[in-house]
Structure formats: C-alpha cells, structure tokens
C-alpha cells in the first residue's frame, strides 16, 4: 500500500539485523523496520516503528506496531498496522 508523499529509502544490515526505512517527502524516516537477514517483506517477522515529527522537524513520537517490541508485523503491511 503506497502512502502519498513518501518514498522507499534504503536497506542496511548491521547488528545482525536488516533495517528498512520508508521516508517522507522531506527525507525523514517515517517507518523503520528490523528483521533477520533474508526475511521476506511479506512475512510477519518484522519489528516496525513509526515516527512522527513536529513542525520543526524533530521527532515527536516513536511508536511500535502492535504496541510491542516483537517481530510480528509484515513490512508490506506497515501502513495499515496499529501503532502505540
């Protein structure tokens, strides 16, 4: 599901996990996903964080998909997940 005004960003691997970033039109990360290397984007084995920003561009909130630190969300379902 595409979110208006956002663009796919880069993937990085460090600390034993793969990290995916989905940025807004200002280049700020909105969704950050972590998973084991080789995890498919449609597999419910991702930990997803959603960031919001204030009018100055500073991080205002960092919320977790499902409100938990577990690896139980799909990267492709990040926009429709519930965050708290």
List, as one string, the DSSP characters of 46-79.
BEEEEEEE-TTS-EEEEEEBTTSSSS-B-STTGG
Confidence bin at 67 (pLDDT 50/70/90): very high
Report, as an integer, the average pLDDT of 69-79. Answer: 96
pLDDT in tens, 9-49: 556 666 789 999 999 989 899 999 999 999 999 999 999 99
pTM for the whole thing? 0.81
Where along the chain do its domains lie? 6-80
Q: What is the percent of the chain where pLDDT is above 90?
A: 77
């Amino acid at each position: 599901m595409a979110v208006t005004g956002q663009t796919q960003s880069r993937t990085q691997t460090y600390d034993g996990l793969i990290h995916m970033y989905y940025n807004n039109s200002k280049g700020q990360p909105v969704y950050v996903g972590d998973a084991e290397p080789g995890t498919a984007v449609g597999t419910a084995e991702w930990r997803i964080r959603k960031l919001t920003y204030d009018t100055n561009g500073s991080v205002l909130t960092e919320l977790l998909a499902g409100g938990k630190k577990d690896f139980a969300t799909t990267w492709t379902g990040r926009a429709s997940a519930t965050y708290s």
